[in-house]
Amino acid sequence: MKIEQLQYLLTLADSVNITAASRHLYITPQALSVAIKRMEKDLGVSIITTHDKKIEFTPEGQLLLSSAKIICNEYEHLQNELFLRTCSGESALDTTLSGQVSLYSNFLWRKNILPAVIKKFRIRYPQVQINFFERDVNAIYDYFLNADTQQNAIGFVQVPELEYQKPVSQWLTSSKYKFVTVYKGTYYACIAKDSSLFPNTDEVSVTQILEHPLIIYFYSDTGQHLSEPNNFQVPLITMLQQYGEVNLSMVTSSLEAWSDFIDSGVGIGFVHDIILRLDPWYTENFRILKIEGNLSSTLGYLVFPEHNELCEKFGQNIREYFIRNKLNEPFSLQSHQESSNS
């Protein structure tokens, strides 16, 4: 049994039902249900029952839940202790650094990377207050163009390859902020496990993909309708349009809807390789296909003001996270899948 499974149980215990718990975990209800059933199969007992759409823990589930709380608390304590022991010099516990830093993040950074980075940063610099805001890429860009000179801020974004290669890129040229590149990756196609599309192949071209309906996930906090998104609103669509007309079946800000419609065969989705590295759920639930062509995007962050100790320290934690998780090494889908199955 994995720590992650026990953490699922703790979240489930604090929620009304599986749907509510899955929202807190940023996974689909189906994925959470599968995880619970896998635990029940491994342990040979029933963990939960459902009455009137509400979950209840069985006596065996209550026993497991009590142990899960102890184990997860001890595991977190152990992680913190080991982390501080491995720190040395300026990386060690620092109670002298204080102040506030505001983080503005898109969905990918917030879900897959920042929770672990923020946790380590808080252990290392306990006197620093972090203000966190989830924003879409457009809102982050607008904020940093008009940022208050008194505020320390970092904006976490993805820069599509099309924009990244422009001689005068809106992301890379500004006297107001600095753009720091962290990771350059590429998109993969997602189709249902039982899909008849692209049989006997693990690689497709963008042109082949554009022959089919597409389902695009895009977090938006602007309140605007995404049924007719413009190029700037959805960077992935901007990249796809380099290759031809895009047949949009759906643009959604619901990860659950995105997953359900791909699984139902409504269309093809896309997932960045950084997500495949960090979350095995995607390779477990979809057929993942490599895409021929340049559907790359760069993960990075905007720093304002450019020279700022708090932002530099946080950036150091980000770099350490990528090194510690070997995210700076070349990615191979086949090797990743073999490793996940072993």
pLDDT at 270: 94
According to the model, what pLDDT value does residue 340 have? 58
Residue 317 confidence (pLDDT) above 80: yes
pLDDT at 279 over 90: no
C-alpha 291/C-alpha 189 separation (Å) is 7
Q: Is the pLDDT of residue 88 over 60?
A: no
Indicate whether 331 pLDDT > 70.
yes
More confident residue, 242 or 59: 59
Lowest mean pLDDT among 223-227, 239-243, 287-291: 223-227
CA atoms within 13 A on the CB side of 53: 3
Tell me the pLDDT band of 80, cut-offs 50, 70 and 90: low
The model carries a pTM of 0.71
> Is residue 282 predicted with pLDDT exceeding 60?
yes
pLDDT of residue 172: 56
Using 50, 70 and 90 to split pLDDT, how confident is the model at 84? low
Residue whose tokens read 């995007």 = 297
pLDDT at 268 over 90: yes
Q: What is the pLDDT of residue 141?
A: 81
pLDDT at 240: 87
User: What is the sign of the dihedral through the CA atoms of 162, 253, 322 and 333?
Assistant: negative
Q: At what angle do helices 18-25 and 29-43 cross, to 10 degrees?
A: 100
Residue 63 has what pLDDT? 92
Residue at token pair 């996930």: 217
DSSP-H helix ranges across the chain: 3-13, 18-25, 29-43, 59-86, 107-112, 114-124, 137-145, 161-164, 206-209, 235-240, 255-263, 273-278, 281-285, 309-324, 333-341
CA dihedral 308, 310, 311, 317 (to 10 degrees): 140
Mean predicted confidence (pLDDT) in 285-313 = 86
Joined together, the tokens standing for residue 84 give 């501080």
pLDDT of residue 139: 82
142-186: pLDDT as tens digits: 888 777 666 789 999 887 766 444 433 455 556 677 888 888 888
Span 221-246, average pLDDT:
65
Q: What is the pLDDT of residues 37-52, one digit of tens each?
A: 888 988 999 999 887 7
Residue 90 has pLDDT above 50, yes or no: no
Contact of 218 with 234, CB cutoff 8 Å? yes
> From CA 258, how far away is CA 267, in angstroms rounded?
10
- Asked if pLDDT for residue 222 goes beyond 60, the answer is no
- Please give the average per-residue pLDDT across 238-257, as a whole number: 85
Residues 193-210: what's their mean pLDDT? 92
Q: Which residue has the higher pLDDT, 32 or 306?
A: 32
Q: What is the mean pLDDT of the chain?
A: 81
Q: What digits encode the pLDDT tens for the residues 15-68? A: 878 888 887 776 778 788 888 888 898 899 999 988 777 888 999 999 999 998
**pLDDT cut 90: percent of the chain above it:** 24
pLDDT value for 91? 54
pLDDT over threshold 80, residue 219:
no
